[in-house]
Amino acid sequence: MYKYDQWDQAMVDARVAEFRDQCQRRLDGKLTEDQFKPLRLMNGLYLQLHAYMLRVAIPYGTLSGTQMRALASIADKFDRKYAHFTTRQNIQYNWIKLEDAGDILADLAKVEMHAIQTSGNCIRNISSDHFAGAAQDEVVDPRPYAELLRQWSSFHPEFSYLPRKFKFAVIASETDRAAMRLHDIGINIVRNDAGELGAAFYVGGGMGRTPMIAPLVRDFVPLDQLITYAEACLRVYNRYGRRDNKYKARIKILVHELGAEEYTRQVEEEFALLLAQNIEPPIAELERIRTYFEAPGFEAGASDELSRSDPDFAVWTDRNTQPHRQPGYVSAVISLKPVGGIPGDATADQMRLMAELTEQYSFDECRVTHTQNIVLPHVRKVDLFALWQKLEAAGLGTPNLDQVGDIIACPGLDYCSLANARSIPIAQQISERFHANGKGDILGELKLKISGCINACGHHHAGHIGILGVDKKGVENYQLSLGGSEAEDTSLGKITGRGFDEEGIVNAVEISVDVYLAQREGGERFLDTYRRIGMEPFKEALYG
């Protein structure tokens, strides 16, 4: 994985010193909250319902064991012995004291981490495929390109005050495991007919109050023009994106209002100008970055045999492992969704164990997924049973990847100052319901996503089943939507009808699932059945 050079480290260390001083000035009363707020947000420090919250960047979700251990240590020293993995492959601490912020950032800097650009109207953490470098179907490891974009976008002076926040996702496969087309810019690294690598640019996607699927703007940008094209896309947005209304300020609105064709024309015009200015980083830099992402020393001839004599282990293997491009290896997914648990939360002890397992079984590398789980990307099959036993003992062995219990949920009204309704209790009740009634085991793939407000951090628009919490005259109410997908068949869910109260929404999910069970044909997933039969049978069952 990427290692900081002297410039990376110097930038991060300088920011720690600067923010420590800013915090002290605020504590001394020399800065007002209005003056301090933009400074703290540039460093990922929010003020949430109960305390300050610190969001730490995890570039493309990749962590070493040392980094995971450092994150656990911060949870112990400065928080309440747990942390929350987010839907953008980051981590959040919910109980931070302002007076500790400088020390926390210093601890992060020691392990090449920071909280820069995890908030504010700038280019946020670059996300990617959590199976990058391991997936059988990838054209190439997308992370060197994500890292190049990270370096380009860090402290980019032109893009530090965009109309709104800006999110990139980079993948390199037909299968989309990063919700690529639901980002401001989604990049898919592809190979053309001549065998050359290039980048397909999708621009203007997003969730939030106005969900949109990003249209393809250019199907092949040569890799030695990647940054130049990204800069052109951003420059047009920065110039014409609306700043008068924050609800219409994302690039998706600009692309929609201009039309993809006109937006593309303007980008191409800007691109031509930028090409003449030769702003692209030297290809040698990309090659330097790429050396950090070379495949680890896989054991040649590692056994492909896997004992399935333990039935629980067999179920976990079937559900929570992914085929690997290297024979004898798999990618193993650690579920942070125990039955009735809080999606994405992990205790400091669990994080320390995951650090240890990362080092012991996965070439010192793990990944945070946007679905709030952890991946050990490179595990020998012969080690899998021992790994599973350790996970089981720590409450991390739930076999529910992409099942109804593998719910994405934002922190909701339990933590978030923007939320209108609680998300986590709904996730917990659904998880418990489908575990208790046994239906969870017969449903197959069913992606359920819950947001506590229209900002859609819980990706509800993209859920096969989506739930949105709203405020109905001071009372929590939940809208149900069906038919969303954030995979390569990206689609946006449609609302079923009037909302439900807390108990009602859990029942409504079960009713919807029962319609699916009654109507599914062959090996159809919930989403397949919905797409075949449409909304009406579900509405009929839900509302009569």
Partner 1 sequence: MKILTGNDLKTGAVTWWDGSGWSLHVDDAVDAGDEADAIIAREEAARRINAPYAIEAEKTATGVRPAHIKDRVRGLGPTVRLDLTLKPGDPNAVREVI
- Return residues touching partner 1 (CB under 8 A): 26-27, 29, 32-33, 47-52, 80, 94-99, 342, 413-415, 417, 419, 422, 424-425, 428, 471, 474-476, 502
Provide, rounded to whole angstroms, the least separation between the CB of residue 427 and partner 1.
9
CB proximity list for 132: less than 8 A, separation 6 or greater: 60, 62, 138, 141, 142, 143, 171, 172, 367, 377
Edge-first strand order for the sheet with 345-347 is 45-47, 52-56, 91-96, 82-85, 345-347
Toward partner 1, which CB reaches closer, 46 or 237?
Answer: 46
Residue 207: Cβ within 10 Å count: 29
Cα angle value 315/321/326 (rounded, 5°):
135
Which of 61/411 has CB closer to partner 1?
A: 411
| Beta strand segments in 266-388, E | 321-323, 329-334, 345-347, 366-368, 374-380
Residue 459 C-beta: closest distance to partner 1, Å: 19
Closest CB to partner 1 among residues 96, 140:
96
Residue with Cβ nearer partner 1 (97 or 265): 97
> What is the nearest approach in angstroms of partner 1 to the Cβ of residue 419?
8
- What is the distance of C-alpha 417 from the center of its chain? 20
Q: Rounded distance, CA 387 to CA 393, Å? A: 10
Structure tokens of 33? 């909250």
Contact 93, 75 (CB under 8 A): yes
Query: Which residue, 417 or 437, is less far from partner 1 as judged by CB?
Result: 417
Helix (H, G, I), strand (E, B) or coil at 305: coil
Closer Cβ to partner 1, 280 or 476, answer by number: 476
At closest approach, how far in Å is the CB of 480 from partner 1? 20
Cα 345 to the chain's mean position, in Å? 14
Q: Which residues, including other chains, have CB under 8 Å from residue 206's CB and lie 6 or more apart?
A: 167, 182, 183, 184, 212, 214, 250, 251, 252
Q: Which is nearer to partner 1, 185 or 419 (CB)?
A: 419
| Residue with Cβ nearer partner 1 (175 or 429) | 429
Rounded to the nearest whole angstrom, what is the least distance from the CB of residue 89 to partner 1 in the complex? Answer: 23
Minimum CB–partner distance for residue 397 and partner 1 (Å): 22
In the complex, the smallest distance separating the C-beta of residue 511 from partner 1, rounded to whole angstroms, is 23
Closer to partner 1 by Cβ: residue 82 or 388: 82
Least distance between partner 1 and beta carbon 49 (Å): 5
- Closest distance of CB 32 from partner 1, Å: 7
Cα angle 113, 116, 122; round to 5:
145
From start to end of 426-486, where are the E strands? Answer: 448-451, 465-472, 475-482
What is the end-to-end Cα distance of the chain in Å, rounded?
55
In which element (H, E) is residue 319 found? helix 311-320
**Residue 380 contacts residue 329 (beta carbons within 8 Å):** yes
Q: Least distance (Å) from partner 1 to the CB of residue 96?
A: 7
What lies within 8 Å, CB to CB, of 380 at 6+ separation is 299, 302, 303, 328, 329, 361
* Pairing of β 345-347 and β 329-334: unpaired
Choice between 80 and 239, CB closer to partner 1: 80
- Nearest distance in Å: CB 409, partner 1: 10
Q: Which of 229, 293, 237 is nearest to 263 (CA)?
A: 237
Shortest distance, position 73 Cβ to partner 1, whole Å: 20
Rounded Cα–Cα distance for residues 182 and 443 (Å): 26
Q: What is the spatial distance between Cα 512 and Cα 323, in angstroms, rounded to a whole number?
A: 31
Which CB sits closer to partner 1, 53 or 199? 53
The H or E element spanning position 386 is helix 384-393
* Nearest CB to partner 1, comparing residues 27 and 436: 27
